[in-house]
Amino acid sequence: MARILGVDLPRNKAMKIAIRSLYGVGPKIGSNVLTKAGIDFEKNSNELTEGEVKSIRDALEIYTVEGDLRREVGLNIKRLKDLNCYRGIRHKRGLPVRGQRTHTNARTRKGKAVAIAGKKSIKSMK
């Protein structure tokens, strides 16, 4: 199993898919890295040699990925919160940040609403 930047690549997947398991690596950066490292896109992730893994690591050095990217994004959000700007307030409250409506939808950010019990009838109370 190949381990790149502290992440185990998924087994039995083509490298063009397996490399996307790294945070910050999508289709474009993944294909650029594999091309630069000289690795076939369809090669299975189990078949990588140590030399190929090292060449992938070297090709990834020019990109901000994994821990550095997570830290950068986290610091950007923290900065917005400290400024108390509109986007920072939305982050603090756990609401959508980019202008989406919240009257309906927005369940991913807001969480599922708790159901309120209806009025009990007089017959059920007796």
- Over residues 81-106, the pLDDT tens digits come to 999 999 999 999 999 999 999 888 88
Strand pairing partners for 4?
Answer: 7
The percentage of the chain sitting over the pLDDT mark of 70, rounded to a whole number, equals 89
Specify the domain boundaries for CATH 1.10.8.50 within the chain. 3-62
Tell me the backbone φ, ψ of residue 7, rounded to 5 degrees.
-120, 130
What does the pLDDT average to over 4-17?
92
Please provide the CATH number assigned to the domain covering 67-110.
Answer: 4.10.910.10
Q: How confident is the model at residue 124 (pLDDT cuts 50, 70, 90)?
A: low
Q: Fold for domain 3-62? A: Helicase, Ruva Protein; domain 3 (1.10.8)
Q: Cα separation of 67 and 24, whole Å? A: 10
Phi-psi region of 65 (alpha: psi -120 to 50; beta: other; left: phi over 0): beta
3-state secondary structure of 104: coil
Specify the domain boundaries for CATH 4.10.910.10 within the chain. 67-110
Amino acid making up residue 121: S
Tell me the backbone φ, ψ of residue 4, rounded to 5 degrees.
-125, 125
- Over residues 13-50, the pLDDT tens digits come to 999 999 999 999 999 999 999 999 999 999 999 999 99
